[in-house]
Structure 1
């Protein structure tokens, strides 16, 4: 049996005379569905070496049509876009994958943008994130972000696969990364900006994966330079964590501080490099 933990981010709190909980002004069912982040697995677990798939993609699709994650045994990177799931393998090969396969970690939502902006000026990754900060006004907000258009440069990465039950921490595998570079390319960035209070359960800050317009290339974003892009933003108000029911997860040490490992993995290089 799986344990599911749900947290509702509240702007207004009410007193309830039953089981104590965090809650917020009620939404209708559709609104809640379209503003909800569903996460399979725990971010710190993936960073620490929990790579064995345990949750089927066919079920993941029931919780979102947009998102990102990791494939079983860590062979590359995942993107969920327009209801389809794509895997960029360590070879760079990118394909739509079988719903019967499993993921160790993924986050999805039903994407319904609240805001849409077109930007025709060139930006590198740092200036893009700075610009996004000016749009995402809540420091503690949960945001799903879709960026589509033309890029003069994109650099991505993917990790090679591991053996079953091999738990080498992800930061220790950085020398094994495979990098891919693209010039004058069209495609989509699928990602999130999550708040600091979600660190370890998810991955706080910006996190983007790329999918080319031809759906034949992708990976975790390392660097980029925009040309002309459209930014769509979907502000979320709740999230669920589906906790794995595996022996490896049951014995995993979540007390270890993995902040530096998470930062190193996100930027694709060890601290100080």
Structure 2
């Protein structure tokens, strides 16, 4: 699998008002694939773990065919299968979805007698920025944890919610000694990421773990890293690469991804092209449902019409070829 480097850069989502110079590559959280693709049933691996983990040594995700929960601890990718058994994965294992970061110079706290709801409040207090992404590591002893995994799936795939309703397996550990790693995401564009605190765990003996549902800390160290930059790595199969899009059209997509909704005049000025050429590109993207017109301007407050990128397209103007590809996501 190859990544379009320019498209990856274009899909970087930053909190509004943040100075881009404050976001270095070391600060970034890297996410492979848009969340909606996984939730809609995109369970086939699109990258190797070696590729996915190039962005960090701390994280979570899943592996090919949704075959268990992925837990990345200190650069090691472990899978917890539906039997609750942990296994170290090889670098060539494929993954459909993963999120990683480098947890450098985190804020740390010692926690005692804390449940999951209290943990969420503490993380929010440490981050102190509703628009930031928090990388979270919680390591120590727990009086109780409830975790889960799912059975591997076969095509044709159902949605993630349907899989969890029928093929999820939960188990309880009393007590539990180990580490939970994950992220707290803010609300982003629909379908981009999963908001809230999401943790996967692994015991100290590296024998079991899973996706966390409930926990109660007995005595543990909490480490929180704060990032305001999330880089979306979109594989060839994903929304932005569904077509062999002409380079000039791709440049227009990148402009809208980077800058948000733009008027015809703004697109032409940014790309240094004529308004007639900008309109031609808008029509090309619009006919395929890749962009949406905001007729009343931003927020319906009036002004010139603006266009924005659709992250997931199911429009009536979608051609049969594109519709068939979209239905595979």
Normalising by the residue count of structure 1, what TM-score does the alignment of the two structures yield? 0.81
Give the direction of change, closer, same or farther, for the CA distance of 1:167–1:127 in structure 2 (3 Å limit).
Answer: same
C-alpha contact 1:198 1:204 (8 A) present in aligned 2: no
C-alpha contact 2:107 2:126 (8 A) present in aligned 1: no
> Which residue in the other structure is 1:25 paired with?
21
C-alpha contact 2:181 2:200 (8 A) present in aligned 1: yes
Give the direction of change, closer, same or farther, for the CA distance of 1:46–1:66 in structure 2 (3 Å limit).
Answer: same
Larger radius of gyration: 2
Higher-strand-fraction structure: 1
Normalising by the residue count of structure 2, what TM-score does the alignment of the two structures yield? 0.68
> Which residue in the other structure is 2:102 paired with?
110
Distance 2:221 2:22 in 1: 32
Q: 1:123 is paired with a residue of what secondary structure?
A: strand
Give the direction of change, closer, same or farther, for the CA distance of 1:255–1:217 in structure 2 (3 Å limit).
Answer: same
Higher-helix-fraction structure: 2
CA RMSD across the alignment:
2.1
Distance 2:148 2:39 in 1: 16
> Which residue in the other structure is 1:172 paired with?
162
C-alpha contact 2:178 2:204 (8 A) present in aligned 1: yes
Using CA pairs under 8 Å that are at least 6 residues apart, name the structure with larger relative contact order, 1 or 2: 1
How far apart are 1:94 and its partner, in Å? 0.5
Distance 1:40 1:155 in 2: 27
Distance 2:153 2:201 in 1: 22
2:127 pairs, out of 124, 133, 136, with 136
Q: Which ranges of 4 or more aligned residues in structure 1 deviate by more than 6 Å?
A: none
Q: 1:53 is paired with a residue of what secondary structure?
A: coil
How far apart are 1:34 and its partner, in Å? 2.5
Q: 1:158 is paired with a residue of what secondary structure?
A: strand
Query: Would you say 1:215 and 2:216 are equivalent positions?
Result: no
| Cα deviation code 1:160-190 (max 9, x no counterpart) | 0011x43200111222211121011111110
How far apart are 1:79 and its partner, in Å? 0.8
Map residues 86-97 of structure 1 onto 2, 5 A cutoff: 86-97=78-89
Q: 1:133 is paired with a residue of what secondary structure?
A: helix
> Which residue in the other structure is 2:12 paired with?
6
| Cα deviation code 1:82-109 (max 9, x no counterpart) | 0110000111110110111110000001
How far apart are 1:118 and its partner, in Å? 0.5
Name structure 1 gaps, 5 residues minimum. 14-23, 257-273
Aligned residues: 239
Give the direction of change, closer, same or farther, for the CA distance of 1:66–1:198 in structure 2 (3 Å limit).
Answer: farther
> Which residue in the other structure is 1:205 paired with?
196
Name structure 2 gaps, 5 residues minimum. 244-310, 315-329
